[in-house]
């Protein structure tokens, strides 16, 4: 009688710096749902992410949820309730998406998987501690508003 394989965990829980460093060392593409403990991860997207992983991602894609409360590299996301999706490849951030826009996230994810499978370079690549291009734009707009209020 053939034994059934235990189902693979579709996502990893990341709570510590050690676990975060292990995520940065993973091969392939890692999509990380960054969240604060008081808000929790974006569970609305789990089924979409799982479906994409099973249908086209395979071993190329892994999924993690990272609690930013104890991870210094994710400090800039603390205190926010908006979902943050960080795409990591070779220990570097290669994409960053804000919000729970399922079609937008799915499209970006499929494009990133295609790019990785075809061994194409990312449009940009930064340390996870730095702001991505769209994140920098958002930060500058908020900073300008803060300066007007002073």
The DSSP-derived string for 33-52 is EEE-TTT---GGGHHHHHHH
- Determine contact, residues 62/50, Cβ cutoff 8 Å: no
**Quick check: is 49 in a domain?**
yes
Give the model's pLDDT for residue 10. 63
**Quick check: is 5 in a domain?**
no
**Quick check: is 75 in a domain?**
yes
Split the chain (150 residues) into runs of 10 and give each run's mean pLDDT: 44 92 96 90 83 89 93 93 94 95 93 96 97 92 82
**Which of 74, 82, 70, 87 minimizes the C-alpha distance to 30?**
87
**Quick check: is 88 in a domain?**
yes
**Quick check: is 4 in a domain?**
no
In the chain, the number of structural domains is 1
**Quick check: is 138 in a domain?**
yes
Burial class for 150, CB neighbours closer than 10 Å (0-12, 13-18, 19+): exposed
What radius of gyration do the chain's Cα atoms show?
Answer: 16
- Cα–Cα distances in angstroms (integers) from residue 132 to residues 6, 123, 139, 150, in the given order: 37, 11, 10, 27
**Which of 65, 76, 73 minimizes the C-alpha distance to 15?**
65
**Quick check: is 38 in a domain?**
yes
The CATH number that applies at residue 66 is: 3.40.30.10
Handedness of CA 59, 65, 68, 74 (dihedral sign): positive
Task: Identify the domain containing residue 109 by its residue range.
Answer: 11-149
């Amino acid at each position: 009688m053939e034994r059934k394989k235990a189902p693979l965990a579709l996502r990893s829980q990341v709570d510590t710096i050690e676990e975060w460093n292990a995520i940065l060392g993973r091969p392939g593409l890692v999509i990380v749902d960054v969240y604060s403990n008081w808000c929790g991860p974006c569970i609305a997207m789990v089924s979409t992410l799982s479906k994409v992983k099973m249908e086209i991602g395979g071993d190329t894609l892994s999924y993690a949820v990272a609690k930013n409360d104890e991870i210094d590299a994710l400090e800039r996301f603390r205190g926010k309730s908006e979902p943050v999706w960080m795409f990591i490849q070779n220990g570097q951030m290669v994409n960053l998406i804000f919000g729970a826009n399922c079609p937008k996230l799915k499209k970006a994810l499929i494009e990133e998987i295609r790019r990785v499978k075809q061994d194409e370079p990312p449009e940009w690549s930064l340390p996870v501690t730095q702001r991505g291009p769209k994140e920098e734009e958002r930060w500058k707009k908020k900073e300008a508003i803060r300066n007007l209020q002073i």
